[in-house]
Amino acid sequence: MKTFLWLVKREYWENRGGFLWAPVITGSVFLLLNLMGIIAAEVIGARHGISFGASGELRNVMSQMDAGDMSKVGLALDVAMYSSMAIITVVLGFVVFFYCLGALYDDRRDRSILFWKSLPISDTSTVLSKVVSATVLAPAIAVVVGIVAGMAQLVMAAVTLSFHGINVWQLLTLAHPFRVMGNLLGYIPVYVLWALPSAGWLLLCSAWARTKPFLWAVVLPVATGLLITWFGIMGLFDLPASWFWKEIVVRGLFSVFPGGSFTATQGSPHTLSITGESGMDVLNVSHSWAAMGTLNLWIGVAAGIGLIAAAIWFRRWRDDS
């Protein structure tokens, strides 16, 4: 266990840039752009004499709101908080994707694998430490960064509104920062399971490819998909092309991008939506966890375990450094 924690720590040392700095920088840039936008709006507003707050209109609007309207304000603030997470999420997807592709390839290319293999560490632990780094450590760091950025975003929005005569504290009580945090953290287990087939496929390519793991990882499924579509166009074999594209190509390659699990529950009452009745609590754990009840997720988990086992085998026996 101690060895395993150090293996994960080692991954963090090596990939601090992707795991920590990428989300931090993304969050900072996002906040900065927001701040610039707010300032620009204020300046333009002041120059053109458009003023919401000074005459107390906005305050009047607020005081006339009923409970439903108030909860919509809360929702808007929650969404503001999620928005920073959303952009960090996209970056996280890229980080995890390329991390997995390089995790078992880069050290073969620069031959440092010979150093790692000189230590009494099993290849199973090595590969699993990389799976955990990709699917648990990286998203956990991103969520923490996202929460910090989200809080900053929330405060920024509230303070701006307070310039227009609205009480900051009243606004903040309308938002649900803790619920948002809980929802984000609660999504991680779903992400781990959902991302497993992708992580497994990418790690397998990383462990197997002698050169260019990216090309193999992408070209193999895409070429197969094209072939199936091609047969489909000619009316031969009648293979389910659209199923293949969605469930194999997209699922296999892009499940490391967070949020994909919501496609599994599409059409059910758990569909991700911000406007629905229950949408007052976006990304509620009960919605995101609904994916756990789908066959899609568990088939993916099984496939992921198989792919990871294959990656371990190649890690053990690939002899090219």
**What is the contact surface with another protein in residues (CB under 8 A)?**
2-3, 6-7, 9-10, 13-14, 107, 110-122, 317, 319
- Residue 134 CB, nearest approach to another protein (Å): 18
- Residue 111 CB, nearest approach to another protein (Å): 5
Q: Which is nearer to another protein, 84 or 126 (CB)?
A: 126
Nearest to 127 by CA among 284, 11, 14: 11
Nearest to 90 by CA among 254, 283, 304, 221: 254
- Residue 209 CB, nearest approach to another protein (Å): 18
For the packed helices 138-162 and 67-103, what is the interaxial angle rounded to 10 degrees?
150
Q: Which is nearer to another protein, 59 or 318 (CB)?
A: 318
- Residue 100 CB, nearest approach to another protein (Å): 18
- Residue 113 CB, nearest approach to another protein (Å): 8
* Dist CA 275 CA 63 (whole Å): 23
Q: Which is nearer to another protein, 194 or 314 (CB)?
A: 314
* Dist CA 190 CA 291 (whole Å): 7
Q: Which is nearer to another protein, 84 or 206 (CB)?
A: 206
- Residue 3 CB, nearest approach to another protein (Å): 5
Q: Which is nearer to another protein, 237 or 317 (CB)?
A: 317
* Dist CA 157 CA 232 (whole Å): 52
* Dist CA 127 CA 307 (whole Å): 11
Q: Where are the alpha helices (DSSP H) in the chain?
A: 2-14, 16, 22-47, 57-63, 67-103, 106-109, 113-116, 123-132, 138-162, 168-174, 177-208, 213-233, 241-243, 251-254, 285-288, 295-317
- Residue 26 CB, nearest approach to another protein (Å): 22
Q: Which is nearer to another protein, 3 or 278 (CB)?
A: 3
* Dist CA 170 CA 164 (whole Å): 13
Q: Which amino acid is at 15?
A: N
Q: Which is nearer to another protein, 111 or 246 (CB)?
A: 111
* Dist CA 35 CA 14 (whole Å): 33
Nearest to 189 by CA among 142, 136, 241, 234: 136
